[in-house]
Structure 1
Amino acid sequence: MARLDVTETFHHISFPGHIHTQDSLKCALHFQFQDSDTVIATYPKSGTTWMQEIVTLVKNRGDPQLSKTVPNWARAPWLEQHYSAKVLEATQGHRIITTHLPYNLLASALQGSKAKVIYVARNPKDVVVSYYHFHKMAKFLPEPNSFDEFLGSFLEGSVSYGSWFDHVKGWTSQTGVLANVLYISYEEMWLDLQGSMERISSFLQCPLVGEELTNSLRHCSFSSMRDNAMVNYTLIPKEIMDHSKGKFMRKGKIGDWRNTFTEEQIGLFDTVYSYQMQDCPLTFMWECPPESCGGGGGGQASGDQDRALSSNT
């Protein structure tokens, strides 16, 4: 199933036709979640692969066997992609399911389910830079022109998988409403991987101790994932993902957006961000000074926080 130049439009959102069909997207909306399922929900380029690796290691008590022998798309398949139905039907026991779908499309399927949901969000400035570079290598996504043009499409929400703002607001609005939902940011994971791992494993009721935690931390480090063919997408043919144009595991840093954005682009982004996120009930790590971050209302992305984050890279 090539369909590299096909785009599927579903509920006014664009999806790459290489891995999505109308049928697969419709099936996702009516999926029967099991109470033992773990669902990883993200907007693209927000730490999806990292969380797949973390959950795999947690579920296997730090044993890297599965993460080194089975591709991540097979052990944590994307719910809405065309191949997932067969994979999930063949999966025994606890299932790890990944999705890029917005909450409003999955709300009905999740209602009444005890499946555990982990939502990962990332500074959208880092997201858009990573997404831009991913478009350069992924043959199933439109070839981007300038970063300035891509940024405009991102802010409009006209890129594949839709608006980052709608996606994040939709899922995080369920914090404290839906049972069994854990929200975590890419930045939290980057700044304190051990604390994040302990939090995630506790949420999944698989608390790690001793060597279980040590092994998990080692095998989900950026360098370990970058060199793991089951994670870095080097198994994908060049015709679909051209690694000569960039690496899937590119940098993994936080605050790296400053190496791409111009001052004019920062101003535009902050204006749109402030408007779009004004009614968001959460404060994100990239919005506030390090000493005060931890709760309250939304707000404009803070340059001070980004500089603080960037200084740790």
Structure 2
Amino acid sequence: WETIHRPELFKICNDVISVYFYFNVQNFQARPDDILIATYPKAGTTWVSQILDLLYFGQTERQKTIPIFERVPFLEILVLTFYTVKLLPTTPRLIKTHFPIQFVPKSFWEQNCKIVYVARNAKDNMVSFFHFDRMNIAHPEPGDWSNYIHRFMEGKMVFGSWYDHVNGWWKKKQTYSNIHYMFYEDMIEDTEREIDKLCSFLSLSNSAEEKKMIAGGVQFDKMKKDEMTNYSTFSILDFKISPFMRKGKVGDWKNHFTVAQNEVFDEDYKEKMKDPTLQFRTEI
């Protein structure tokens, strides 16, 4: 093992994981009242997880003592480790995933589970993913920014192509009514409005005062300082390189893209995003 370079090791691990997923992911048993939070990585997963946890269970000791990744576990980790969400004491069970649509276990569809999907514009999503890959020792090294842009456009990313991910879930929404498709930019623009929409979709009757309090409590700067939401207790992340919650802004891509890179990216984007009904904002 000592003679295997990091890229080779990741390839071996990914091959093993892929085979494991193929044979095991479809065996996961969802319950009718499960809530699945689905996102491409770095698109607002932790944010929406915290909002839903507060909407369903209120301000309790669990938010002060249990990290968000235990309160709302990743489906991928559950499948990989044979861990079961039956150990979750809550009803409903809140589960999150970065799976593209084709990997979601069939039991979620069979049980008619409600799914909250969060999408973020490609440019900001890529910037955030780049810095996350830099500090996540479980991910392949991102390399330099210029090459990373091409990797992103080619879909050579952990969890695959952003374009396939957001389009696949958008298309599924047209035939499966229990998907609530949200946009990160809308949440930044008016968090309370988006919480109202979530409550309507989930048939929750939280008071206006509760929703206002939640909206104030989940603002980026507050969550970034909270050890139970900022992933500072998650051992595979190197905070000396970058924080897990870095900026949380719309438009930070402008600080990374050169004019030439932006032109190339925009041309490629037009080729891959043909559905006029799915529109993203890169600034607000």
TM-score normalized by the length of structure 1: 0.82
- Normalized per residue, the structure richer in helix is 2
Q: Distance in 2 between matches of 1:35 and 1:141?
A: 33
The answer to whether the Cα contact below 8 Å between 1:136 and 1:245 also exists between their aligned partners in 2 is yes
Aligned ranges for residues 27-66 of structure 1 at < 5 Å?
27-61=24-58, 63-66=59-62
Q: Does 1:79 align with 2:82?
A: no
Cα displacement (A) at 1:207: 2.8
Q: Does 1:255 align with 2:258?
A: no
SS of the residue corresponding to residue 247 of structure 1 reads coil
Structure with more relative contact order (C-alpha pairs < 8 Å, separation 6 or more): 2
Q: Of the candidates 194, 198, 210, which is equivalent to residue 212 of structure 1?
A: 210
Residues 209-243 of structure 1 show CA distances to partners (whole Å, capped at 9, x for unaligned) of 14311221122111121011111111023xx2110
Q: Distance in 1 between matches of 2:81 and 2:52?
A: 18
Q: Does 1:7 align with 2:3?
A: no
SS of the residue corresponding to residue 254 of structure 1 reads coil
Aligned ranges for residues 72-151 of structure 1 at < 5 Å?
72-82=68-78, 85-92=82-89, 93-106=91-104, 108-151=106-149
The answer to whether the Cα contact below 8 Å between 2:31 and 2:108 also exists between their aligned partners in 1 is no
Partner of 1:231: 229
Partner of 2:177: 179
Cα displacement (A) at 1:24: 5.5
SS of the residue corresponding to residue 232 of structure 2 reads coil
Q: Does 1:283 align with 2:283?
A: no
The answer to whether the Cα contact below 8 Å between 2:36 and 2:115 also exists between their aligned partners in 1 is yes
The answer to whether the Cα contact below 8 Å between 2:26 and 2:107 also exists between their aligned partners in 1 is yes
Cα displacement (A) at 1:152: 0.6
Q: Distance in 2 between matches of 1:204 and 1:27?
A: 29
Cα displacement (A) at 1:176: 2.9
TM-score normalized by the length of structure 2: 0.89
The answer to whether the Cα contact below 8 Å between 1:43 and 1:161 also exists between their aligned partners in 2 is yes
The answer to whether the Cα contact below 8 Å between 1:52 and 1:72 also exists between their aligned partners in 2 is yes
Cα displacement (A) at 1:66: 2.4
SS of the residue corresponding to residue 229 of structure 1 reads coil
User: Runs of 4 or more off by more than 6 Å in structure 1?
Assistant: none
**Fraction of identical pairs, as percent:** 33
The answer to whether the Cα contact below 8 Å between 1:28 and 1:79 also exists between their aligned partners in 2 is no
Equivalences, count = 276
- Alignment root-mean-square deviation, CA: 2.3
Q: Which runs of 5+ in 1 are unaligned?
A: 287-305
The answer to whether the Cα contact below 8 Å between 2:119 and 2:184 also exists between their aligned partners in 1 is yes
